[in-house]
Chain A
Amino acid sequence: MDMDSMQLFNIVLTGVLRGGLYALMAVGLSLVFGVMNIPNFAHGEFYMLGAYFSYFTYTYFHFGPISSILLAAVGTFILGAIAEKTLFYPLRKRSKKNWIMNTFLLTLGISIVLQNGAKMLWGNTYRGITQYWPGKVSIASFNISNDRIAGFCIAMVTIAIFWLFLNKTTMGRAIRAVSQDETGASIVGVNLNVIHTLTFALSCLLAGLAGAILLSISPAYPFMGVQPLYKSWFVLILVGMGNIGASIYGGLLVGLLETFAYMKFGSGWQDVVSLAIIIMILIFKPRGLFAKKGVKSVSE
């Protein structure tokens, strides 16, 4: 096997793994925006909290990998529910005027508080683990660590379960109903308060899960959430909202693009390249790459 195809394989592998993460994040982000009209800029911080949760459960309390990841998911779910009940619920009760802008600023405030709170509590150090599952898989002459395979599989399985939940269960259908027509849904007896809390908590769960899965690859750090947040917004702009399948494509696309730009142009310049591409897309395909009926578009 020559160097070039080796490098290409590496790019694809890293890109796909990152893409899985971005998809997981983007699904949560798009869910909250679709159902509650909240542009959640604190989404990355729940990713960060997930990483810290699994770090502490794994290293201090010696839980197994799966149970640490699950605990991180449960933890961020609970924190998300608390945030919704204590912050967004009062705001919704007080006023609905200028809701998107107000919640945007509110989530920004939450993000600042969580970042700096984490920094005060746990310091500015990286807290990571070497691996959840030691060992690697060899295909031909490539070596892929078990963690990467497991991480990608967990991400995809989670998205699949989530899709089933949204489409096949009563609760999931209620969430989708609210995202389509809030008043209509409440007339037919959907409890909006429950749906809102559940939606926000679920979205936080997805972010926390992503942080926990990737702990061995990107260690826990107070400001680790900014990059994934930025990328998941990138995905949403690319594919539009409210379509889980499109979010997966978008996530993989952004992951590959970013890794490729990183390899080709060096670190630092990949932001410029990604931005140039997104500008082109917005100019030539302002309705997103997968524009179709039922997908909320980003243009007016």
Chain B
Amino acid sequence: MEKAESSLTKGGRFIGKFGFTPLSIAMLFVLAIFPLVLQDEVITRLLISALMLGALAMAFDFTAGFININNFGYAAFWGVGAYTSALLAVKLGISPWLGMLAGGILAGLLGLGLGFLTLRLAGIFASCMTWFVALAMFAVTANWVELTRGTSGLSVPPLFNTTGNIGYFYTILIMTVLTYVGLKVIIKSHIGTAFRAIGQDLQAAQASGINVTKYKIMNFTISCAIAGVLGGFYAHFVGIITPTVMNTSHTVEVMVLSFVGGRGTIWGGLIAGLVMIPSMEYLKGLMELRLLIYGVLMIVVMIFFPSGLAGLYYKVVQLIRKNASLTKGKKEEKDVRRAGL
């Protein structure tokens, strides 16, 4: 009995290294078999977009929630990935899988450039800069008609030859899990600590010997590269792309997910995506109302729940633990208090 328990905690510690808890493993498992059980193409497509936006929101949070810079041009990097992968497939006949990788690399390189550009700017002006860069990228995509076919759109070959969506679902599920694990491993390492230090107080971070330049640029590169890969996936999933993928409204969507989910948690954005995207689907006929709800949610979250869904979750967990410890005695309460801190 004791032996089994200790191996269980060992297992817990092992999955904890990759940012998982037993609960999240169980949820992931349910999610993974969901489309197999339900066999509904509409719901599967919905889950695909929820996962994709959720993954984007996680990568967005990697910048906004840690180094405290809102990448207000995030959708443009997503779009760069989409266009790179699509153009490679259309013009050169390169496999979409390699195309997605290429999209990630190009978006990452552009993110590196953006990192350099925003380096000297204070918080909000850095956000403005990312926005300006994105607007310029949008303008180039929309006006370079010879390459991108401009606003008439580019049709993209699919990733799989079957009509079903199951293949896409498992692709994006794996990509999302890899994104989560990758980001979480970085955040748990000393690099994550450096990011947090920079986000909280730049001067103090600099004074304590953190190479701010290096970490800021690293952060932008990683986050934009992930957006690029996901953009490549998006292009082959929807089959046609127009420059509107780079629109600020897409950035806003990702941003809302990430902040409603809870900043600085990585997983918050994914949960918000899985909850909000399917429920928003019922309002599809009323596009304005959908955006209006996003706006209202943003206002409400900012004023009343600045820590988002994740904050609520932690509060509930704390409450349950407190109740449990009250019945068990004082020793445990101390432990909980220590764990809570």
Contact = CB atoms under 8 A, between A and B. Distances in A.
A121 to B, nearest CB: 10
B135 A104 contact: no
A102 B117 CA distance: 23
B132 A100 contact: no
A105 B296 contact: no
Given A104-B127, A106-B303, A237-B128, A113 B292 contact: yes
B202 interface: yes
In this complex, which of A87, A90, A119, A268 has the most chain B Cβ atoms within 10 angstroms of its Cβ?
A268
B120 A300 contact: yes
Interface string A27-42: 0000000000001000
Contacts of B129: 237, 282
B124 A100 contact: yes
Interface stretch (A126-134, A180-188, A269-277): A269-277
Contacts of A269: 139, 143
B288 interface: yes
Contacts of B143: 268-269
B280 interface: no
Interface in B109-139: 117, 120-125, 127-129, 131-133, 135-136, 138-139
Given A104-B124, A117-B292, A272 B299 contact: no
A106 B298 contact: yes
Contacts of B120: 282, 286, 299-300
A269 B139 CA distance: 6
B202 A87 contact: no
A291 interface: no
Interface in A113-151: 113, 115-117, 119-120
A79 interface: no
B32 interface: no
A282 B139 contact: no
A105 B121 contact: no
B298 A300 contact: no
Interface in A249-300: 268-269, 271-272, 275-276, 278-279, 282, 286, 298-300
A233 B121 CA distance: 14
B227 interface: no
A95 B140 CA distance: 41
B303 A87 contact: yes
B153 interface: no
Contact of A237 (B125, B202, B248, B303): B125
A48 to B, nearest CB: 14
A105 B125 contact: no
Contacts of B127: 39, 104
A9 interface: no
B37 to A, nearest CB: 36
A233 B130 CA distance: 12
B299 A87 contact: yes
A98 B255 CA distance: 16
B298 A119 contact: no
A112 B247 CA distance: 14
Contact of B121 (A94, A100, A101, A282): A282
A102 B295 contact: no
A233 B294 CA distance: 24
A40 B299 CA distance: 14
A300 B122 contact: yes
Contacts of B142: 268
Contacts of A233: 128, 131
A271 B202 contact: no
Interface string B311-325: 000000000000000
Given A102-B302, A120-B288, A300-B202, A113 B136 contact: no
B288 A116 contact: yes
Contact of A275 (B122, B136, B297, B302): B136
A111 interface: yes
Contact of A282 (B117, B123, B202): B117
A34 to B, nearest CB: 13
B19 interface: no
B277 interface: no
B321 to A, nearest CB: 25
B255 A39 contact: no
A105 B122 contact: no
A112 B298 contact: yes
Given A101-B123, A230-B131, A233-B128, A108 B252 contact: yes
Contacts of A103: 302
Contact of B303 (A90, A111, A276): A90
A112 B295 contact: yes
30 contacts: A94-B303, A94-B304, A100-B124, A101-B123, A101-B124, A102-B302, A104-B70, A104-B127, A105-B70, A106-B298, A109-B299, A109-B302, A110-B299, A112-B252, A112-B295, A113-B292, A113-B295, A113-B296, A116-B289, A120-B289, A230-B132, A268-B139, A268-B142, A272-B136, A272-B139, A282-B121, A286-B120, A298-B122, A299-B121, A300-B120
5 tightest Cβ-Cβ pairs between the two chains A and B: A109-B298, A112-B295, A113-B295, A109-B299, A275-B136
Interface of B: 68, 70, 117, 120-125, 127-129, 131-133, 135-136, 138-140, 142-143, 202, 248, 252, 255, 259, 288-289, 291-292, 294-299, 302-304, 306
